[in-house]
Amino acid sequence: MSQVIGIDLGTTYSCVAYLQGEEALIIPNLEGNNTTPSVVSFTSSGEQLIGTPALRQAPTNPDKTVYAVKRLMGKKFNSAEIQELQNKLSYKLDKAPNGDVIIDLGGSYITPQEISSLILRYLRKCAEDYLGEKVKDVVITVPAHFNDHQRQATKDAAKIAGLNTLRVINEPTAASLAYGLGSKRNGKVVVYDMGGGTFDVTILEISDGIFHVLATIGDTFLGGEDFDNRLISWILDEFKKKEGIDLSEDKFALQRIKEAAEKAKRELSYTLETQINLPFIVSKDSESKHLQVSLTRSLLENLTKDLVDKTIPYMTQALDESKLGLEEIEEVILVGGQTKMPLIKETVTKFFGHEPSRSINPDEAVAMGAAIQSGVLSGEIHDIVLLLDVTPISLGIEAENDQFVKIIEKNTTIPTKKTMSFTTVEDNQRRVKIHVMQGENPRASENVSLARFDLVGIEQAPAGVPQIDVTFEIDADGLVRVSAKDVATNREQSIEIRPSAGLSTFELNKIMKRTEDQAEVEKDEETGLL
């Protein structure tokens, strides 16, 4: 059996791991680093740069350097998050024909799934070079609070990259596997996961190799990028006060400031003060202006404290939904690069009453957990008997008067299956429309639409007489299948949820064909045939 890899496809950085025996090991990238910037750049010559090379030339090519693409996955262009985000990016977003967000590279367009696939393809190459064999199968991670659209978009990205996804696993759950396998401990554990773009808090119970998720909650638009943006805004304001120049519309200057802000933020995790020096940031009246500011940890914390405080209600809600008290939590694990920030450590310590565990690397734990899950699936790891994850968001259908009827409640252990009975609202009604939705709001219009289908041929009867059974099934990846059946006639209609957002099968196949053709050209170039 060929080697299975585990991939943490992150907003800011990505990581790949594999299993050697029962030990999860990180695979370094082609530059020798354990993590790879989730950045793709398109040069004027048509070359695609991935990772560190893309990051290096971003200041000189800002409108064709794509970063933080994970935040765009499975999203509609008109969504509030995308409308707010597009003003903070150096590249342009546009509306795809199906309403999705699409990336505008100066007149040519590319989907977020394709950008993610380029990152995945690079990580696959790193793994193949390191292991000395072809790699096909992958366990890939997603934020626990990703909805069905976002999970499907991630699987599509893997497929375009030529990878076969064995399992989609929630990032906090993956981290807990890395923690649990190494410590061989039992107990109730909290995973506080804040990466570049998303935040989750998950509570699990580990007991003799059984990992049981009790509750998970989070925000898919809260992460390190938001901290960076606060710092960028402060730097812009300081420069404007000093020089009277607004750099917010200068994409080249903004990209340099973004890079410097992220670097300064990281430095302030282990030092109390740092300097940002950007010479020749702009020219005014034939005079070059230089940007130079001092930044303290205290100032950074004042700028971002509300973002950290925003995670406290999530911790409270996760405890409530797990039906546990603070005294029952035995360990807290910090996952994701943003959790290196001292203020986050202090906030989590104060909330739970004890310091978080330092036994796993927050940058690498998720990829390691994905690799461990591959060993669980193949039977190579015997210490982990069972992984019981949950669906993070409730699922149901739209009913009369904009009501949302939940059929599967959030935090239900998956895989799962549940049936609920409905009826008609009109006499002799022969057709019912099934609108599948995901969310927590009692109003259907406030939730996410997943799919629509019709059940036709219902037996004629007065309103309220026919019995229509609607069944929801969620698989281990958190993906959904729905069926509706008229009990009297046995007529049934089912649908495997292929989100109304995202790539159609035709579009996916078209992109895969284009990617395969490009790969053949690159292979021929490497072997000197062209």
Residues annotated as catalytic are 8, 70, 171, 193
CA distance 502 to 74: 6
Distance CA 308, CA 224 (A): 11
For residues 124 and 134, give the distance between their C-alpha atoms in angstroms, rounded to a whole number: 9
Dihedral (CA of 143, 144, 150, 154) sign: positive
Q: H helices within 88-194, ranges in order?
A: 112-131, 148-160, 171-183
The runs of H, that is alpha helices, within 353-467 are: 365-378
Rounded Cα distance between 513 and 507, Å, is 10
Radius of gyration of the chain (CA): 24
With residue 455 as reference, give the H or E element that holds it.
strand 448-456
Contact 204, 176 (CB under 8 A): yes
State the amino acid at position 316 in one-letter form.
Answer: T
Q: Which two tokens stand for residue 471?
A: 């069944």
The residue with tokens 């130079």 is 292
Distance separating alpha carbons of residues 333 and 365, to the nearest angstrom: 10
- Its sign, for the CA torsion 505, 506, 508, 509, is positive
How would you classify the pairing of strands 101-104 and 92-95?
Answer: antiparallel
The residues, any chain, with a CB within 8 Å of residue 465's CB and separated by 6 or more, are 423, 424
- 405 CA to centre of own chain: 27
Please list, in sequence order, all residues whose beta carbon lies within 8 angstroms of the beta carbon of residue 226, skipping any fewer than 6 positions away.
Answer: 304, 307
Which letter does DSSP use for residue 76 in this model? Answer: B
Q: What is the DSSP string of 252-319?
A: HHHHHHHHHHHHHHHHTTT-SEEEEEEEEEEEETTEEEEEEEEEEHHHHHHHHHHHHHTTHHHHHHHH
H helices of 184-250, in order, are 224-243
Beta partners for residue 190, in sequence order:
203, 332
**What's the number of CA atoms in the CB half-sphere (13 Å) around residue 499?**
25
**Alpha carbon of 68 to those of 38, 326, 450: distances in Å?**
7, 34, 24
Residue 437 half-sphere exposure, CB side, CA atoms within 13 Å?
23
What is the chain's length? Answer: 530
